[in-house]
A and B are shown apart, each in its own frame.
Chain A
Amino acid sequence: MDGTCLELAGKFPAEGSRLVEADERELIRRAQRGDRAAFDALVRLYDHEVLRLALKLVGSPEEAQDLYQEAFLKVYRSLALFRFDSRFSTWLYRVVMNVCLDHLRRQKGRSEVQAPSNPESDTEYFQTVADERPELNPERSLKGREIAGRIQSALAHLNPRERMVFELRHYQGMKLRAIGELCGTSEETAKNCLFRATQKLRVALADLV
């Protein structure tokens, strides 16, 4: 792993990475021996980014919370199996990806989509999202919300793996190789997923381009 997962993990403290890694290793060993405080500390190192990713994938805070909990419980239950063969962040995000993929598959199975296709309810869906462009006038802001709703709806119609790969490559900036590793698949498969996702989005959003 080339450290991409560490980038995904976001804010790491300012001491050099060696100290951080040493501290993290110590935390993992203690957590493996059943030290709850050490596990809590590990959770806090990664949970913000895990929650952000879950929120982006499923949209609703309630579902994101479920994913967060399921992922960290799985990490807790299987921590003893972690053998330091890879970075802890890689191992952890692989668990998170599996939980997210399973969730997206279940969602698809129920024929549910993450964002409503009805433009009126789009507003409700995005009401929790801060408008970060105060310079926009109301008309443009409304238009922006409509476009945002269309994007979310188009993303929701991708299949789970395409959705995941596109999110990680386009919005998180991860390299395809790292995505393949995290999703337990090859770089080539990740590449194909990205290609299909892009094609589908181009069709779905053709009138906006």
Chain B
Amino acid sequence: MANEGVAMSCKDLEQALPFYLYDELPADERAAYEKHLESCPACRQTLEDSRRLHEVLAHRPRIEPTPELVVHCRQALDEALDREQLGWRALLRSLPHLFSFRLAGSGALAMLTLVLFGFGLGWTLRPRSSALLDGGKVAPSLEKSDLGTPELGHISDISQVAPDPKTGEVRITVNAERRVTLEGSLDDPRIRELLVGAVKSYDNAGIRRDTLDILKQRSDNPAVREALLHAMRNDPNAGLRLEALKAVAGMEGQELHQALLDVVEHEKNPGVRFAAVDALADHVVRDKDNAMLPALEELARNDPEGYVRMRSASAVHALLGDAP
């Protein structure tokens, strides 16, 4: 039903309705719209229907990426960027050789093809886990003699650490004086001791990663907690330091804050360092740990990384209660 004598017709109103609801109408059109509404019950009804549609649309659940997904995305991007850089470097390295050999056009092309094929093959066949975990760093050879239990004696090798999803127990296969498989829960001190020892000193990154996955379920145990913090600070593998950092994220207390600060101050890998400053800022603010203020202020002022300065300054502001 159209009303005579108003600036907008019912048809105009229908066209303008979404923009009225989203506050996207210019002031004069908005005023005309509201004037028309006063005298048009049909358009008021249409507006009400649209408001109800908005209410229905509000039922869509809030979708938030989990912290695990964020970390996973960052790690995958990190790998992809490594490949990207490696690819260009390999190509650039190969070019001077191509030209110095002064190969004929077809020969140069064949050589370039071989270089690219070789790079592609090498990349395809690379050990995935070590590319992910080692970040180009070679794990120092550690003394396996650090490992052992009174009943098994010296353990020469750990070949598997695996959780049993059905029973919640852990299966550890070790080569001691003979090959032995131990099974038990993390409540078993023998199992726990072995895993704590493995995560702190074993030289196989894959076994350390599996062990970390299991140990992080029991971060309430002091020995496990200490092992996780140790791994976060000292594991030779950047990927595992990051895993350990994720594992300790559920803990609390000044010991954790200090450990995170150590990582921010001494870590060389930017990915781990940024994750550490994120965790440090979140924990310190949440726990209102004012003892960390001087260290955070120092980071906010002098850290060479802009991101670390920003996160630290943000935490300082939040602690001082003057966050915007």
Contacts and interface: CB of A to CB of B under 8 A. Distances in A.
B291 interface: no
B43 to A, nearest CB: 15
Contacts of A88: none
Given A37-B305, A41-B306, A65-B69, A147 B61 contact: no
B60 A152 contact: yes
Nearest to A131: B61
Given A15-B310, A64-B69, A209-B56, A175 B63 contact: no
B65 interface: yes
Given A76-B81, A202-B53, A151 B59 contact: yes
A131 B57 CA distance: 16
Contacts of A52: 63-65
A152 B62 CA distance: 12
A93 interface: no
A47 B60 contact: no
Main secondary structure of the interface of A (DSSP, over half): helix
Interface string A125-153: 01011111000000000001001100110
B63 A69 contact: no
A48 interface: yes
A40 B270 contact: yes
A55 to B, nearest CB: 5
A51 B70 contact: yes
B61 A65 contact: no
B270 A14 contact: no
Given A14-B317, A41-B306, A73 B81 contact: yes
Given A20-B310, A40-B274, A209-B52, A132 B61 contact: yes
A170 interface: yes
25 contacts: A13-B311, A14-B323, A14-B324, A15-B314, A26-B306, A36-B81, A51-B65, A61-B66, A64-B65, A64-B69, A69-B73, A69-B76, A69-B77, A69-B80, A73-B77, A73-B81, A126-B61, A130-B62, A148-B60, A176-B19, A194-B18, A194-B22, A195-B15, A195-B18, A198-B17
